[in-house]
Amino acid sequence: MDTLPPASGDAAKPLTPAELRELYSLMVAVRHLDASAIAWQRQGIIPGYAPEQGQEAAQVGSGYAVDTTRDFVFPTYREMGVARTMGVDMVAYMSTHKATWHGGLYDPQQTRLAPIQAVVAGSVLHAVGWAHGQTLAGTADGSLGVAMTYFGDGASSQGDVHEALNFAAVMKAPVVFFVQNNGWAISVPTERQVAGGSVAARAAGYGMPALQIDGDDVVAVVEATRRAFAQARSGNGPVLIEAMTYRRGPHSTSDDPGRYRSLDEERDGAGLDPLERFRQRLLADGIADAAFFAEALAAAKAEEEHIRTGIQALGSRPGTEMFDLVFQETTPALQAQAANWREESEHV
């Protein structure tokens, strides 16, 4: 399915060999960090994590298309690969999974990545609101900032998603709805919870162009996301992308996928590993060699060690931050409470 106008300008430029190698290095870094985060949860370093093995191409490819000087991304709890691709400090990002009360250490305004959203489909409405603000403040001359919001096939059944799609289409908000259809809404397969079997097909009901793409092909993801951004940035309204991929492994570290699918079913449904698929393509095209792949893996391992060390060094956050970060305007009662809290903290 492809109802989006053909690419033109910068969106139509092919990726260079250097960019292709960069994409592979990012995918390796994300794969290694993802596997390590699962181990960290088992070791008690972090209390919980939502794995994304198999979705590296969808996340790295879409994140690669973001212009962090003007766009804004609204993630769920499973977009570590997007954050890494956008250059977010990963100790600061992973601190969210450390369960510090205020939800992480990175600066959303500086990184252009909104705080992790654990409410299913919650980030979708936030993205549309921000995008509508761009419409009100900007001009349709190709300079609009674009919001990109992520959600899964399961979240697409939430009422918030339909409200967001309708509002964005009516108001021509510059937003890209990026759906990672990973085959499972936790324990329910897509065909049992998405009428018609396609999230992209729903876009037609809102008069919105849509793409259904191979989410395991990182090049296809980059190209599709760039096209969608160009469409939205030019004042033509929202675009929906459905990236068909597969969640290999559990929904979260508290999930047991053996309750709803067998290991054989997982292997059959997953297809060729997107990382191995891209590696074979780079080799066949003479863009990378064995030395490059070894170097990329070594860099990913070194990065993981740095991040793990940084996370373990994080201390508890002072509760007094609530008074600095939550309330825009304080009251005398809040000021007194903050003073008491700080005084008590000094004596602990």
Active site residues: 247, 251, 260
3-state SS of the chain is CECCCCCCHHHHCCCCHHHHHHHHHHHHHHHHHHHHHHHHHHHCCCCCCCCCCCCHHHHHHHHCCCCCCCCEEECCCCCHHHHHHCCCCHHHHHHHHHCCCCCCCCCHHHHCECCCCCCCCHHHHHHHHHHHHHHHHCCCCCCCCCEEEEEECCHHHCHHHHHHHHHHHHHCCCEEEEEEECCEECCEEHHHCCHHHCCHHHHHHHCCCEEEEECCCHHHHHHHHHHHHHHHHCCCCCEEEEEECCCCCCCCCCCCHHHCCCHHHHHHHHCCCHHHHHHHHHHHCCCCCHHHHHHHHHHHHHHHHHHHHHHHCCCCCCCCHHHHHCCCCCCHHHHHHHHHHHHHHHCC
Helix pair angle (56-63, 17-43), 10° resolution: 120
Rounded CA separation 331/337 (Å): 10
**b/e burial code for range 123-158 (CB count within 10 A of at least 16 → b):** bbbbbbbbbbebbeeeeeeeebbbbbbbbbbbbbbb
